[in-house]
Amino acid sequence: MATPSKRASPSKAKQSPKLLPATPESGSKPFLRFYHSEALRKKTLSLLSVIEQAQDAAAHRTALANLVVELTNAGLDYYFMKQLKLAKPGFLVEQSANLGMAGAQQVMGSVIRQVIGRMDSTQLLSVCGSIRQLML
């Protein structure tokens, strides 16, 4: 004997407008984004425009790598350090977390710079496009 499917009632299945996905292709995929400073947003948009309009995007590898490191650090701070501080775990735990995150950021920064530093113009433009998608 078949069992009835457990479906949410239509009223429960509706999402509020603020929960709808930003882009059509992200409609079926969950996402998680973070807030960063207005200065970092302006810097990001400016550099992306420069790279996208450059005859040789590869000339901007170092600047893009540094920007990706800065965005990564901002994301780690938003998702981990800021939330840890809100939890008020105590001075020792916060200092241990700061030290651990600083080490992780140094390693990640080195890897990011090496990888982006070896990319050609087409690959760099792809990274720029990905960053723009994340900013939607």
Q: What tokens appear for 100 in the block?
A: 């651990």
pLDDT tens track for 96-123: 999 999 999 999 999 999 999 999 999 9
| C-alpha–C-alpha distance, residues 97 and 84, integer Å | 9
Give the pLDDT band of residue 29 (cuts 50, 70, 90). confident
Q: Give the residue with greater pLDDT, 70 vs 10.
A: 70
Domain limits for position 49: 33-134
Tell me if 78 is assigned to some domain: yes
pLDDT tens track for 48-81: 999 999 999 999 999 999 999 999 999 999 999 9
Tell me if 82 is assigned to some domain: yes
Tell me if 20 is assigned to some domain: no
Total number of domains constituting the chain: 1
